[in-house]
Amino acid sequence: MNSASASAPAPAAADALAARSLRAVWHPCTQMQSHEHVPLIPLARGEGAWLVETSGHRLLDGISSWWVNLFGHANPRIGAALHEQIDRLEHAMLAGCTHAPVVELSERLAALTGNALGHAFYASDGASAVEIALKMSHHAWRNLGRPAKREFVCVRGDYHGETLGALGVTDVPLFRDVYAGLLHPAHVVASPDARQAQPGESPADVARRAAADLDRLLSERDPTIAALVVEPLVQCAAGMAMHDPLYLRQLRALCDRHEVHLIADEIAVGFGRSGSFFACEQAGIWPDFLCLSKGLSGGYLPLSVVLSRPAVFDAFYAADPARAFLHSHSYTGNPLACRAALATLDIFRDDAVIEGNRQRGAELDALLQPLRDDPRVAHARRCGMIWAFDVRSEADPAPAVPPGSFAPNFAQRCFAAARERGVLLRPIGRTLYLMPPYILTTAENRHLARVAWQALDAALRGPGRPAGA
Ligand SMILES: *Cc1c(COP(=O)(O)O)cnc(C)c1O
């Protein structure tokens, strides 16, 4: 018996719940000691775009609970589908068995790619989907008689998850460097981040320059390279770095020419986040592997999937068990998670969400004008339902570009100021971003825009400096 939790006092107030959590729970992506001065937020429930604290204080979820929630918390349509499914079949193994939710979801996901991709392989988290794509790529090349293809390429600043394989293709030093000794290191090529444009250069010029860097690497090493993995259109964890779709077209052409698989990690940008249903659509390309998670289940249950080209599947289809993809997870294709995903796809279809987001996005765009006009902000940018702003500091007037560069003071102060005013925000370094669910009303859009600007203002004023200084 864990004596720490067994002896914890019975909770009476919100503070007691937070204190128990700090004793019993190891929170993710957190230096636990920071909670000595940054309070944990104890939540009681969710309601549409809002999270409600145990104290009753309401927070508009401005970052969709880490980019997963699409249609709000406690959504009645997704909830009804889950209630119906839980009384029918909660879970069964997917090796040797199948069920309607997993079949229907796989068919509908393939149809959304015009059946360019299919044979849905499921896991629970984004990082697992990336692991699967990496293993499948190498194994496919092996089965095709090219076992030397065992290296991977990622893009400077890319993030693909925290498990060892995914971390090996992640270029965020803060997350990766401690574990360097455990990783299969990847080649890192130049980022197409449009903020790097020199005077007179367009985002497409930056994209071409970055693609040329990849071309150089592949020209030297393609016999040993299995795949390139990329975050299409937005490198989210790097601080919402955005690039021209031309980059993806160039990657597709280079991967074809050099016989290297293209893995598109749309875990964050899929499901309408980039403005189209899949980000790759804006470039008019399909990858060899498409990794999806986060919004896949509407933000309800852990679910991820890898879709692949028919040629990949065919490379495994044989009598020999060693040629098969023997990877598995206990909860692969969980029926509840698949039903949540089907209900999410129903909402996209029935409510014409992609079209509606154009209207919603334009409205928030106009409301964010004060942030764009603020002289302390650089590189105000938007891709679909993602808005981002870099904040200049006195010490470093150039806006934050290097991934992993961390300005905890700005991020923490902004987070605290936004919470106080009723919005959940979590800046990355000196990048303040908004990634709301797709259901905000005009009043909610106004609240989000107003508080984002006030939080930025409060965070930059900092302690000891008068307003307007
Ligand atoms: C979040 C994310 C992942 C990892 O997903 P988890 O579910 O957190 O493991 C991988 N790639 C991208 C682009 C992500 O945003």
Q: Ligand 1: distance of its center to the CA of 163 in Å? A: 10
> For a substitution probing ligand 1, which of 294, 300, 435 has the most ligand atoms within 8 Å of its CB?
294
For the record, the structure tokens of 460 come out as: 């930059």
CA 235/CA 248 separation, integer angstroms: 13
Please state the separation of Cα 306 from the chain's center in Å. 15
User: From 3.90.1150.10, 3.40.190.10, 2.120.10.30, 3.40.630.30, which CATH number describes the 3-74+353-461 domain?
Assistant: 3.90.1150.10
Average pLDDT over residues 3-15: 50
User: Which tens digits make up the pLDDT trace of 169-225?
Assistant: 999 999 999 999 999 999 999 999 999 999 999 999 999 999 999 999 999 999 999
CA 241/CA 171 separation, integer angstroms: 13
Share of the chain above pLDDT 90, in %: 87
CA 231/CA 199 separation, integer angstroms: 26
Q: What is the three-class DSSP state of 377?
A: strand
Amino acid 12: pLDDT: 52
Are domains 3-74+353-461 and 78-351 of this chain identical in fold?
A: no
Give the residue with greater pLDDT, 251 vs 392: 251
Share of the chain above pLDDT 70, in %: 92
CA 49/CA 65 separation, integer angstroms: 10
CB of 192 within 8 A of CB of 155? Answer: yes
Task: Answer yes or no: is pLDDT of 4 > 90.
Answer: no
Residue count of the chain: 469
Amino acid 148: pLDDT: 98
Nearest to 245 by CA among 281, 196, 288, 277: 281
Other beta carbons within 10 angstroms of residue 104's beta carbon come to 15
Average pLDDT, rounded, for the chain: 93
User: Which tens digits make up the pLDDT trace of 356-415?
Assistant: 999 999 999 999 998 999 999 999 999 999 999 999 865 555 544 343 333 458 898 999
Q: What are phi and psi of 459, to 5 degrees?
A: -65, -35
User: Which tens digits make up the pLDDT trace of 407-460?
Assistant: 458 898 999 999 999 999 999 989 999 999 999 999 999 999 999 999 999 988
CA 223/CA 244 separation, integer angstroms: 29
Nearest CA to ligand 1 atom 15: 268
- What's this model's pTM, rounded to 2 decimal places? 0.94
Task: Answer yes or no: is pLDDT of 98 > 50.
Answer: yes
CA 93/CA 176 separation, integer angstroms: 34
For the record, the structure tokens of 75 come out as: 């959504």
User: Which tens digits make up the pLDDT trace of 313-341?
Assistant: 999 999 999 999 999 999 999 999 999 99
For the record, the structure tokens of 94 come out as: 């997917």
CA 125/CA 137 separation, integer angstroms: 19
Q: How confident is the model at residue 8 (pLDDT cuts 50, 70, 90)?
A: very low
Nearest CA to ligand 1 atom 6: 126
Amino acid 394: pLDDT: 56
Beta strand residue intervals within 231-272, DSSP E: 234-235, 241-242, 261-265
Other beta carbons within 10 angstroms of residue 396's beta carbon come to 11
CA 49/CA 57 separation, integer angstroms: 14
Nearest CA to ligand 1 atom 11: 160
For the record, the structure tokens of 126 come out as: 């984004």
Nearest CA to ligand 1 atom 10: 160
Pairing of strands 151-155, 289-292: unpaired
Nearest to 233 by CA among 225, 224, 242, 221: 242
Amino acid 168: pLDDT: 98
> For a substitution probing ligand 1, which of 175, 266, 267, 290 has the most ligand atoms within 8 Å of its CB?
267
Task: Answer yes or no: is pLDDT of 463 > 90.
Answer: no
Q: Ligand 1: distance of its center to the CA of 126 in Å? A: 4
List of residues 6+ apart from 14 with CB closer than 8 A: 42, 53, 54, 55
Task: Answer yes or no: is pLDDT of 115 > 80.
Answer: yes
- Atom in ligand 1 nearest the alpha carbon of residue 304: 7
Q: How confident is the model at residue 5 (pLDDT cuts 50, 70, 90)?
A: very low
- Residue 58, strand partner residues: 52
Q: What is the three-class DSSP state of 83?
A: helix
CB of 265 within 8 A of CB of 227? Answer: no
Q: How confident is the model at residue 163 (pLDDT cuts 50, 70, 90)?
A: very high
Q: Ligand 1: distance of its center to the CA of 130 in Å? A: 8
Amino acid 15: pLDDT: 82
For the record, the structure tokens of 346 come out as: 């129903």
Nearest to 295 by CA among 347, 333, 248: 347
Domain segments of the chain as ranges:
3-74+353-461, 78-351
Q: What are phi and psi of 435, to 5 degrees?
A: -145, 65
Q: What is the dihedral of CA 410, 395, 175, 304, to 10 degrees?
A: 50
CB of 192 within 8 A of CB of 243? Answer: yes
Q: How confident is the model at residue 461 (pLDDT cuts 50, 70, 90)?
A: confident
Average pLDDT over residues 138-156: 98
CB of 340 within 8 A of CB of 78? Answer: yes
Task: Answer yes or no: is pLDDT of 137 > 50.
Answer: yes
Nearest to 186 by CA among 197, 203, 170: 170
Q: Ligand 1: distance of its center to the CA of 127 in Å? A: 6
Fold of 78-351: Aspartate Aminotransferase; domain 2 (3.40.640)
CA 389/CA 435 separation, integer angstroms: 12
Ligand 1 cavity residues, CB under 6 Å? 125-127, 130, 159-161, 231, 236, 265, 267-268, 293
For the record, the structure tokens of 254 come out as: 């280079």
- Residue 154, strand partner residues: 188
